[in-house]
Amino acid sequence: MFTSFASQAGERTDFLVNDDAGTATQNNPRIAVSYDRSFIITWVDSRNGSNDIYIQKYDTTGNRIGNNILINDDTTDSYQYEPAIDVDYDGYFSIVWKDFRNGSYPFDPDVYLQRYDSSLTLSGVNENLTSVGTNAFKETPDISVSQSGLGVVVWADYRNGNWDIFCQLLAANGSLVGSNILVNDDEFSAQQHSPKVSMSNQGWFVVSWYDNRNGDDDIYIQLFDTTGTALFVNTKVNEDLNGKRQAFADVATDGAGNFTVVWVDWRNGTYPENPDIYSKKYNSELDILSEEVNINLDGTFRAQREPAISADRLGNVAIIWADSISKSWDIAGQMIDVDGVVREENFKANTDTDSAQVKPDVALDGKYRYLTWVDRRNGNYDIYAAIQKYNDPSIAVSMSSISFDMLEGGALPSAQELIVDHLGYNPLDFTVTSDVDWLDVSPNSSTTTDTVSVSVTSDTLVKGNHYGNLTFADNTYGDSSVIVPVKLTVYYPSMNLSNDTVTLQVFEGIDKKYRELVLLENESLGSYSWTATETSSEIELSAYSGFDKDSVYVSITPSTLSAGQYVEYIVFESQNADGAPDTLVVEIEVVNNMPYILPVPDSIFIYTDSIVGVTEDITVTNFGIGSLNWEATVSGNFFTINNNSGTDNDFVTVTFDSVAFGRHIGSITFLDSSAFEVETVVPVIVDYYQNSDDIVSVGSAIVEANSSGSVSLTLTSIQSIKRIFCPLRFDTTFLQIDSIMPSLSHPSILNLNSSIDNEYGIFEIDLITNPSDTTIPIGDSHLAEVYFTTKSSIGISTIDSAITDSSSIFLLNPSGEMFAPQIVSGIVDVTIATDISDETELELPKEISLSQNYPNPFNLSTTIEFSLPERSEITLNLFNILGQKIQKLAFGYFPAGTHSVEWDGHISGGDIAPSGIYFYRLESNSSVFVKKMLLLK
């Protein structure tokens, strides 16, 4: 089944990588090869008692350089896991890993980075890449760098309460570019795991992972451009429709501008039985080049797992995996060339046949295949490696890379000469091609040995680094080529406004804002900052400073302007851009000599339990001169109008039809081609719900100014309820809403979604039962607690139902029927602060504390108490023995005092937790406490 390899010069069969003399466990090897064919292997090593990250470098002939090197520089015996590695054109190796030095295993890992130059000299110290989103779980980091040194790191991150994929761009010097970028674009709390990343030599990159947003695990990818901007959307890779599992993807970009995804797939079996290895190939526009295909060709029902992939600069791909088709686990693989042809079918990496070889990784350099894996041949887990030749290019070029320097707009640099030779006995016909239009090669075809001249042909390239590749192809045998990277450094940004002039026609006396968009473009590389100045009281800009590529709205409110022509000027200045300062001319025409459609009212909103026969009148008034001659059109099938045309002050009667319960949105458009605004739209919104005797009540409170408090939201229901949507309003003069906590009465079935707008005095509470067969029972129920802080103003704020863009208040029963409940308003009476507080203050806790749960051990439920010396924002989470968060018990702002939370033995989603040890963790802005409990069923 496997292709064997004879040992050749440059090749090495199985060799031991770790140099410890003991029986410590080594695991998770990763490998990267440089342009000079030196390579580094990194792995997890327990020789020092705790898990550390080690590396070993080998020279271009495959010989060890020095001894194993410990790269994590912590001194606390913390655990390190899951290393990944890549290398750039200059030979800088970058390693990332999961590190627990800032947490306490298994909690709060971070992702760390360490760089080495080509001589194994440290570049800086271990650097934390995930200081944002602290106290959150991170796992499975990966890294990829381009030939120019730009890099990207990805990892799975639990900062949002579910597993997401984040990435971080790195500059060529290893510094962070921008902030963490969220990769997955799902709009709900799906789980994403095991990301891998590959960056092309052009700087665009692709991230792969597995994702359960569809109910089962699928493989997803996301492309990004060189700036970290997402191209397209998350794309599902696997095409099976049978709901089987796919996981553990890897991805590789190649020198042809394409990329290949590989993964473990259970479509031919029932998980966890009979996993196979599948792959799929795309170009950078997400066009499919090779449909998904089963890569392992064993023809059996044996298991394959842990795929890894690498692509070379020619577009060839190596896919390897751990394979169980023999009596033990071996490392198998396929070599696929740039045209999709399988060159080596099911080759074998290891020569040992009596032990387990697993967790492989691979790197390619265009000629040799570098492999590493975990090996148990010595009775313990070691790291082994091998070097195999898969291609034999015979073109030899005198220089491995070329660099040019040129002043922007200056003279072209001098041409450089390359000697093209061959490594074999016979001369070879060759051609030379460039993948960029600013390079010329002469001659572009010849026979070895010959000299070719390489020159830059364009003096119009902008400031920055430009990269290209010269491909020397062997025309005699057609089976090899050599790529010589070319770097052109052009030794400024350029401000350009998208409009020289903006023209605004406005109507006299109308208190309405008119606006036009202007873009601050940059016709060069780099970036510039800008400021804007204007002297008109009628003009307003959406921003008066910023950076290139900003969008700025120029707005005018003409209520104080008389009819006539006006010209104003806006000056955009920059200290670091060509073309600055630049002046935008604003031409304003104020008119009053034409009709102006002004419907009264300008919108219709109805909240009712009886819609049929309801009518509303709209008067179409004329704010201008002359006469209107309007026509009306309707958008929406839940109402009609009695009049489709008319003139000044005519009425339109809106009559509402029978519709389903819920929110209905439509509009009436008034059109008059002779009016100032040809189209005027009147929104029509109906919230139509059945009336019910269910009662939603908001509690009341008397609270001193500049203090904190809370009110309860309760339900008195006469029917079972599946969902409650409750928008409420309050007076921002007296208080602000801090947080909304779900009721602890139904912790296992109520999911709370909430939003707070303290600027406009609105908050929304959306309570949904979960699982789907649960309901809020008939009777009295505590739904949520609303926490607030009072301001310095003294008075009363009513908390009452509101109407928002989402809906008005409604209930949903198990049959899907929507009802409008009765609402009992609450009040918050903000009073003058008194001095009679010393005795109370003596009773407050002196510090934050977390008590041991009681009872413990427990069977059905247990109570957790925590104390706060002052109003604090806290989170109380529950974790299983693996460190996975299974329930959020409390979160938000809590007043000073002692609080208790009950856990009923259920995890998120309503499932019953199994017997075992659990950890509960209280986290505030200043403290973290963890305690252990025991659940016995």
What is residue 478's predicted lDDT score, i.e. its pLDDT? 60
Burial 227-255 (b: 16+ CB within 10 A, else e): ebeeeeebeebbebeeebbbbbbbbbbbb
What is residue 833's predicted lDDT score, i.e. its pLDDT? 66
**CB-based contact 288:281 (threshold 8 Å):** yes
Euclidean distance between the first and final Cα of the chain, in Å? 51
φ/ψ (deg, to 5) at 843: -90, -10
Q: How far apart are CA 497 and CA 500, in angstroms?
A: 6
Residue 539 identity (one-letter amino acid): I
Q: How far apart are CA 395 and CA 393, in angstroms?
A: 6
Preceding amide of 443 cis, omega within 30: yes
Q: Is 99 left (phi over 0), alpha (psi -120 to 50) or beta?
A: beta
Q: Which of 451, 452, 455, 443 is nearest to 415 (CA)?
A: 455
Neighbouring-strand partners of residue 904: none
What is residue 322's predicted lDDT score, i.e. its pLDDT? 95
What is residue 243's predicted lDDT score, i.e. its pLDDT? 86
Q: How far apart are CA 159 and CA 136, in angstroms?
A: 5
Low pLDDT (below 50) residues in the chain: 1-9, 424-426, 835-842
Q: Which long-range contacts (CB under 8 A, 24 or more apart) does 664-667 make?
A: 664/636, 664/638, 664/688, 665/636, 666/634, 666/635, 666/636, 666/637, 666/638, 666/639, 667/634, 667/635, 667/636
**CB-based contact 935:856 (threshold 8 Å):** no
φ/ψ (deg, to 5) at 842: -65, -20
**CB-based contact 30:9 (threshold 8 Å):** no
Token pair belonging to 818: 């929507």
Half-sphere exposure of 431 (CA within 13 A, CB side): 6
List, in order, residues 6 or more apart from 69 with CB less than 8 Å away: 54, 55, 56, 57, 120
Give the angle 492-494-495 at the CA atoms, nearest 5°.
Answer: 150
Burial 178-201 (b: 16+ CB within 10 A, else e): eebbebbebeeebbbbbbbbbbbb
Q: Hunting for tokens 């029963």 — which residue is that?
A: 813
Q: How far apart are CA 176 and CA 129, in angstroms?
A: 8
Q: Which of 254, 284, 61 is nearest to 147 (CA)?
A: 254
Q: How far apart are CA 648 and CA 661, in angstroms?
A: 36
Give the DSSP per-residue string, 592-603: -SS--EEEESS-
**CB-based contact 248:194 (threshold 8 Å):** yes
How long is the chain?
937
Helix H or strand E segment including 822: strand 818-824
In the DSSP assignment, the letter for residue 354 is S
Dump pLDDT digits (tens) for 63-94. 999 999 999 999 888 999 999 999 998 899 99
Q: Hunting for tokens 């601050």 — which residue is that?
A: 520
Q: Which long-range contacts (CB under 8 A, 24 or more apart) does 375-378 make?
A: 375/14, 375/350, 377/352
Residue 784 identity (one-letter amino acid): A
Token pair belonging to 737: 């809403």
Neighbouring-strand partners of residue 398: none
Domains of the chain: 395-490 (2.60.40.10), 495-591 (2.60.40.10), 597-688 (2.60.40.2310), 690-831 (2.60.40.680), 845-935 (2.60.40.1930)
Give the DSSP per-residue string, 619-666: EEEESSSS---EEEEEE-SSEEES-SEE-TTEEEEEEE----SEEEEE
Q: Which of 170, 178, 126, 128 is nearest to 146 (CA)?
A: 170
Token pair belonging to 53: 């990250």
Q: How far apart are CA 602 and CA 681, in angstroms?
A: 8
In the DSSP assignment, the letter for residue 412 is P
Residue 162 to residues 156, 232, 771, Cα–Cα distance (Å) = 10, 23, 18
Residue 767 to residues 38, 743, 749, 761, Cα–Cα distance (Å) = 59, 10, 10, 20
pTM score, two decimals? 0.48
Preceding amide of 771 cis, omega within 30: yes
Helix H or strand E segment including 447: strand 445-447
